[in-house]
Amino acid sequence: MPVEAKLFTPAQATQMLPLVRRIVEDIVVSVGRWRERIREFELVTASVTSHAPDPRAAELEREAGVIAAEVDRFVRELAALGVELKDYETGLVDFPAERDGRPVYLCWRLGEPSVQFWHEIDAGVVGRRPLEELVA
């Protein structure tokens, strides 16, 4: 039996925001660290030959894997709360909600002081509209 998605009111999404913000901050920082390891790995391996392997490459690959697993745990934490991560770099998340009986998303991005926008399921971030329209 499929689990029904949690639906949020704007007040519930705002109430969860302190916890969601901390998790999303961790994701954005970790993704930045992961990208740094990958860039360094690519630089190291670009000059490596099979006759002269660089031990740093294996270490960077291991570190990137550890960080990726960490990010995955954070994403699962959000999912357990009913929140959907949409962008790893900007910290964009959606809270499933309803408008006139149809599914929509309440939308928040890291750095915004509160949940201020919503959008249709298929509109994405470019279709964000002021929350006042949803509650009017």
- Domain annotation covers residue 1: no
75-125 pLDDT per residue, tens = 999 999 999 999 999 999 999 999 888 999 999 999 999 999 999 999 888
- Domain annotation covers residue 2: no
How many CB atoms neighbour CB 108 within 10 A? Answer: 28
- Domain annotation covers residue 4: no
- Domain annotation covers residue 97: yes
Residue 35 confidence (pLDDT) above 50:
yes
Reference 128, options 108, 113, 111, 114; nearest CA is 108
What does the radius of gyration of the chain's CA atoms come to, in whole angstroms?
19
Strands 129-130 and 117-120: antiparallel
pLDDT at 124: 81
Taking the C-alpha atoms of residue 29 and residue 102, their distance in angstroms, rounded to an integer, is 34
- Give the residue with greater pLDDT, 69 vs 125: 69
- Axis-axis angle for helices 55-81, 10-46 (nearest 10): 170
Q: How many domains does the chain have?
A: 1
- Domain annotation covers residue 73: yes
Range of the domain at 93: 10-135
| Global confidence as pTM | 0.86
- Domain annotation covers residue 5: no
**Is the distance from CB of 119 to CB of 104 less than 8 angstroms?**
yes
Taking the C-alpha atoms of residue 22 and residue 44, their distance in angstroms, rounded to an integer, is 33
Residue type, 65: G
119 phi and psi, to 5 degrees?
Answer: -155, 160
Give the pLDDT band (50/70/90) at residue 44.
Answer: confident
